[in-house]
Amino acid sequence: MTVTHNAAGLTDSRGPALIRVPLKNNGKIGAPQKVVLSGDWAPTSTGFNANGIAATPDGRHLIVAQSETTEGGSALYLVPTGTAGTVDARRITLHSTWEGADGLQLIGQTLYAASPQGVTEIKLSRSLTAGRGLGATQVPDAAWPTAAKAFGCRLYVVDANFSNVGNPAAEFKVLAIPLP
């Protein structure tokens, strides 16, 4: 989930869509609206589609992760905000690959993407249309990192521990790592 100045944005992990929830100045929450991703977005019929989201600082765009693409690996898209219906998602050209993109955290032009490999650091161009991977940081004691949010000089990562879903004794935790 991410929040802009006038809406909350959530991903639909099983479909090529987002959910936009309007936020009003008086604190009222509007009715959820479906936002269908089109343009460069190529939905997969199996696996996760839209599965990570971060707002740009000006709130005019969202960066959306697609965990599994039709050609394999993960992808990032730049999506305009402010509307429901169908939007034009533009694929961000990446000069690196990785698998299982999930939760996103954008700080300036640096994007942090949680994935089973840890947290991948991606440096984005000023236009946000291209990026290059700077490497991945492992999250000690995490079985499956799925979300990452920054606070101070640390990145807090949710361990979904997917291999233990349904096990009442399983531990699901939040772990802190230094910002890479």
pLDDT digits (tens, 9 = 90+) for 42-96: 888 777 889 999 999 999 999 999 988 888 889 999 999 977 899 999 999 998 8
- pLDDT tens-digit profile of 28-57? 999 999 999 999 998 887 778 899 999 999
CATH of the domain at 86: 2.120.10.30
CA distance 155 to 110: 13
Range of the domain at 82: 2-178
From the centroid of its chain, how far is CA 153?
20
Amino acid 71: pLDDT:
84
Give the chain's domain count.
Answer: 1
The yes-or-no verdict on residue 157 having pLDDT over 90 is: yes
pLDDT at 154 over 90: yes
Mean pLDDT of 138-151: 92
| DSSP reduced 3-state for 167 | coil
What gap in Å lies between CA 50 and CA 63, rounded to an integer? 10
DSSP state of 60: S
**Bridge partners for 113 per DSSP:** 104, 120
The greatest distance separating any two alpha carbons of the chain, rounded to the nearest whole angstrom, comes to 46
User: Do 94 and 122 meet the contact criterion of CB atoms below 8 Å apart?
Assistant: yes
Angle, CA 72 vertex, CA 56 and CA 38 arms, to 5°: 50
Q: Does the pLDDT at position 165 exceed 80?
A: no
| Distance (Å, whole) CA 42 – CA 89 | 10
pTM over 0.85: yes
Q: Contact 8/57 with Cβ under 8 angstroms? A: no
Residue % of the chain over a pLDDT of 70: 100
By DSSP bridging, strand 93-94 and strand 85-91 are unpaired
pLDDT in tens, 95-135: 888 888 999 999 999 999 999 889 999 999 999 999 999 99
